[in-house]
Structure 1
Amino acid sequence: MALGKHFRRRSTLSSYRFSSSDLNRILRVLTEINRDANPDTYANLKNPDGSPFTEYHRLRTEIYGDNGEYFLSFDPRGLSLGDLPKKVTKIVIDNFGFPLYLNDISADRDSSFYVPNTFRLTLDFTSVDIFDFSTRPSDETAHLNELNVEGKTENWTKGTYATIVDELSGCEVMNRVLHRRNLYDFVLFLIVYPVLILMLFGNNESIVKVTEGISPAVVAVAFLTGLLALTYCYRILFNWTRWLFPINELVFQVVKFRFLQKAVFAFLTLSIISAIVGNLVAK
């Protein structure tokens, strides 16, 4: 989309699983993109000793932690794991923060100075709350995964956007599917409820024996109460699934406890499917 003399590409990104080497590789690619993005813009920037300022290829990397930590880096060599928060919640990388951050750089420029070719990559590593009953499970999981590229020319804007997305695609996973809008309702009404009804009423003789001598009104209330309880159980399991498979993951920060839970999840899923199939086949 053109904005005056500028072009913009902005979109929500997919789901990714990053190792430390993945992040540093992407950072190196972005640094190379930035090296040739705005050389003329910084032509008048000088170091305190009067020499030309040549560090404009550096990127600003901001890392946010779960307990309010904030880590800022301009190091083009990559990120040091030892300096990262224990639980990273967001990483932001852009190419317009470094020169504006330095206080010891002088420039022959006016207040209208700006960086014409820019990009900003935001990666969200937050997880859903398993016992969250305040939000609608039907909604898409809120996240800040976004890539924003702006440039003077359409070719630079499209090319930079495509290069960054292509680099990210090597880390792409399918987790995003679990966070889609209306997935909760789809599974609930097309799978969970039909299977429960088949399992409960597929064997009429058992139902008759259990409810013999009980008022139909009591049976109806018990059925609705049980259905409501099972719905809440399903909601917790649904949130648990989203927590196990967040939109983005950092491999080096995935705790062993979560790996164990994923194994339990796989076992329970296979057991439930086997039980349902066996029950339906037996009927």
Structure 2
Amino acid sequence: MTDAIENLPAATNTEASVELSQAATFRVPQYRRNIVPTNLVLSAADLKEFCQIVEKANERAQVIEYNNLNLAEFESPEAAKDRVQEFVRLEYNYGDSTGDSVQGLGIPNTDDHEFPDDLKTFYVSNSSYAQRAINVRPLNTVDAFLAFERPTLKIDLQTLPSNPTMNRSIINVSGRDEDWVISTADRLRSFLDKRKSFRPVIHGSGSYDYLVYLVFLPTVLWILHEDGTFLSEWLKRQSTFMNVVLGIYALLLSLLFARFLFQYLRWLFPPMEYYKRSRWSAYLHRALAGVIFSTLILNAIYDIVKVTVTSLLGG
């Protein structure tokens, strides 16, 4: 991938910086809305629509910026308007799994065949270009960063599995105009809410502990009860010390396997998911995993209920 050459920002313009800064007496926004996107499934077309919403918000931000300018500093009102439209504009940047990235101005062409199938990060803002080109932040801004990285399958013993899944996605809406901030944030939130998708509770804090103690370990005990006759007979012939050592080792090994299964579930259902056109491969993968896990869990539940009912009736 290569940068869109015609869209790259020009060198810093000191004169333009002084002129545009007339609209910004205060550099700290008075109003702010933060949105944390999660449990979303977005396509390439959705990202384009998202940028269109930000573009419409930017058009209103340009009007507010123009109305706050000191027109006496410009040759004409048209020159002031052109200056605002030149610097208060959308900039995007996106990258794929290979590390390649594309940067440009306006709305990205997500329909292009070169738009990545394995999109990892997507950034769009109406403030970054002005900040870099003339070192001035517009009065009303949207900065959106969407991260589509899947949780890793590698087991890192220094990271607690009970911690929530890391999600770097964030949308910051800030500005001096309260109505603009509220309406822009509401439009973006409404767009995201329509694309919410069911995700298991595995991404929350403490979900690993519940999975291990309420699902995994009971399932392991059930398997040993059903098919552990040979193992039990073999352990009876070993010393007490060997039984203790093997028991501790088996427990640690089973917890390590549980950790891998947990991370696999998080990888299978990421908090933020992107697809370019079709999700059939993801559906098939999840369906196969669902059948396997459901079979094991349902069989374990059936046997537990059966033993419990038999014990009660027999008593």
The alignment status of 1:87 with 2:118, answered yes or no, reads: yes
Structure 1 counterpart of 2:245, one-letter code:
V
Taking structure 1 as the reference length, the TM-score comes to 0.80
Partner of 1:36, secondary structure, is: helix
**In structure 2, C-alpha distance between the alignment counterparts of 1:8 and 1:176, rounded to whole Å:** 31
Report the count of equivalent residues. 271
Shift of 1:116: 0.8
Partner of 1:37, secondary structure, is: helix
Greater share of helix residues, 1 or 2? 2
- Unmatched segments (≥5 aa) in structure 2: 1-26, 308-315
**In structure 1, C-alpha distance between the alignment counterparts of 2:116 and 2:188, rounded to whole Å:** 25
Q: Counterpart in 2 of 1:26? A: 50
Shift of 1:78: 4.5
**In structure 2, C-alpha distance between the alignment counterparts of 1:19 and 1:4, rounded to whole Å:** 34
Shift of 1:91: 0.6
- Unmatched segments (≥5 aa) in structure 1: 104-110
Taking structure 2 as the reference length, the TM-score comes to 0.73
**In structure 2, C-alpha distance between the alignment counterparts of 1:255 and 1:130, rounded to whole Å:** 21
Structure 2 counterpart of 1:97, one-letter code:
S
**In structure 2, C-alpha distance between the alignment counterparts of 1:200 and 1:142, rounded to whole Å:** 35
Q: Counterpart in 2 of 1:131? A: 154
Q: Is the 8 A contact 1:87 1:253 kept in 2?
A: no
Given the alignment, which residue of 74, 80, 93 partners 2:105? Answer: 74
Is the alpha carbon distance of 1:229 and 1:58 closer, same or farther for their aligned partners in structure 2, counting shifts above 3 Å? Answer: same
Given the alignment, which residue of 298, 302, 308 partners 1:278? Answer: 302
224-233 or 133-142: bigger deviation: 133-142
- Identity over aligned pairs, percent: 20
The alignment status of 1:236 with 2:267, answered yes or no, reads: no
Q: Is the 8 A contact 1:199 1:279 kept in 2?
A: no
Q: Counterpart in 2 of 1:62? A: 93
Shift of 1:92: 0.9
Greater share of strand residues, 1 or 2? 1
Q: Counterpart in 1 of 2:212? A: 188
Q: Counterpart in 2 of 1:121? A: 144
Is the alpha carbon distance of 1:204 and 1:33 closer, same or farther for their aligned partners in structure 2, counting shifts above 3 Å? Answer: closer
Partner of 2:65, secondary structure, is: coil
Please tell me the root mean square deviation across aligned C-alpha atoms, in Å.
Answer: 3.3
**In structure 2, C-alpha distance between the alignment counterparts of 1:4 and 1:28, rounded to whole Å:** 26
Offset from partner CA, 1:41-86 (integer Å, 9 cap, x none): 256799xx96952466742121022222111232337433423235
